[in-house]
């Protein structure tokens, strides 16, 4: 029994290394100059709309309520005469700018955008549309995946800015209604000790995460085999793997840039 367990563990480890190699080889095909720039721009604009613009509503709603919840939690838990009340605005701003609007929002988008990309490309794989492109001599990986990656990465700064604004605005609304702290105190806290570099840090980090989300999801969809069940499994695997990679890269990126 132990021998069989060890063999299964070795097979899983070997398969993991194989997936890394397959992903690297796929990226080599993807990151090439498009043969037809007109077609690339057409797919790029589609990606901007379907992957980026269609994600604004979920970013706005989640950021508004989470921002309000963050401010409320901090206001209730930081209630000490040793700390000025504008600390609520300072701490809320740092949480929203540094982690929520980049990392947490990307984890959420990994579910929405990642599953969308994986299922779309996976469906094309099992219906042999990708095979047809390969037979015609088209670089199917470059044609299908590159526009999605570029469009999503290019639109990530817009989503991050929306998330930052709505998160801070959600806190403003809570202060407006509950007066804990007052609106003036909260706004002062948002302004004091402000560092513009935090915004660029979050935008840069989110663009890296956007590349991970789109490319990993495309990999799982592109390598899907079987039928509709396998497409769903590929979509699920892409969300799980993207979530893990985002958290690991967040830790490494923060240590390298902020450390």
Answer yes or no: is 2 within a domain.
no
Q: Measuring CA to CA, how many Å separate 49 from each of 35, 217, 250? A: 23, 18, 27
Answer yes or no: is 202 within a domain.
yes
**Residue 76: other Cβ atoms inside 10 A:** 11
- What is the model's pTM? 0.90
Give the residue among 211, 209, 193, 190 at the shortest CA–CA distance from 201.
209
| pLDDT tens column, 172-203 | 999 998 887 888 999 998 998 888 888 999 99
Answer yes or no: is 153 within a domain.
yes
Answer yes or no: is 3 within a domain.
no
The tally of domains found in the chain comes to 1
Answer yes or no: is 7 within a domain.
no
Q: Within 13 Å and on the Cβ side, how many CA atoms surround 195?
A: 11
Give the residue among 144, 124, 167, 157 at the shortest CA–CA distance from 215.
144
To the nearest 10 degrees (0 to 180), the angle between helices 140-178 and 37-47 is: 30
| Full domain range(s) for residue 233 | 31-258
In the predicted model, what is the mean pLDDT of residues 13-38? 86
Q: What is the rounded average pLDDT for all residues in the chain?
A: 89
Q: Measuring CA to CA, how many Å separate 158 from each of 113, 125, 161, 209? A: 15, 31, 5, 14
- Residue 219 pLDDT exceeds 90: yes
Q: Using pLDDT thresholds of 50, 70 and 90, give the confidence band for residue 210.
A: very high
Do the beta carbons of residue 149 and residue 48 sit within 8 Å?
no
Answer yes or no: is 24 within a domain.
no
Answer yes or no: is 246 within a domain.
yes
Answer yes or no: is 23 within a domain.
no
| pLDDT tens column, 117-169 | 999 999 999 988 998 988 888 889 999 999 999 999 999 999 999 999 999 99
């Amino acid at each position: 029994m132990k021998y069989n367990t060890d063999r299964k563990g070795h097979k899983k480890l070997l398969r993991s290394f194989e997936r890394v190699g397959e992903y690297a080889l796929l990226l080599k095909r993807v990151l090439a100059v498009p043969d037809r720039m007109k077609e690339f721009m057409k797919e790029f604009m589609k990606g901007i709309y379907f992957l980026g613009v269609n994600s604004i509503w979920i970013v706005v709603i989640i950021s508004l309520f989470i921002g309000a919840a963050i401010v409320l939690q901090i206001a209730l838990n930081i209630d000490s005469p040793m700390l000025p009340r504008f600390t609520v605005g300072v701490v809320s701003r740092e949480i929203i700018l540094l982690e929520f609007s980049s990392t947490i929002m990307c984890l959420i988008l990994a579910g929405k955008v990642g599953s969308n990309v994986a299922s779309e490309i996976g469906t094309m794989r099992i219906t042999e549309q990708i095979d047809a492109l390969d037979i015609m001599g088209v670089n199917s990986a470059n044609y299908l995946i590159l526009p999605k990656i570029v469009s999503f990465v290019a639109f990530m700064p817009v989503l991050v800015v929306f998330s930052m604004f709505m998160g801070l605005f959600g806190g403003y609304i809570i202060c407006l209604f509950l007066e804990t702290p007052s609106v003036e105190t909260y706004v002062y806290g948002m302004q004091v000790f402000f560092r513009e570099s935090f915004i660029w840090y979050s935008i840069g980090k989110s663009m890296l995460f956007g590349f991970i989300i789109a490319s990993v999801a495309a990999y799982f969809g592109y390598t899907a085999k079987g039928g509709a069940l396998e497409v769903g499994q590929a979509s699920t695997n892409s969300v799980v793997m993207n979530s893990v990679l985002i958290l690991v890269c967040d830790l490494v990126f923060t240590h390298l840039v902020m450390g």
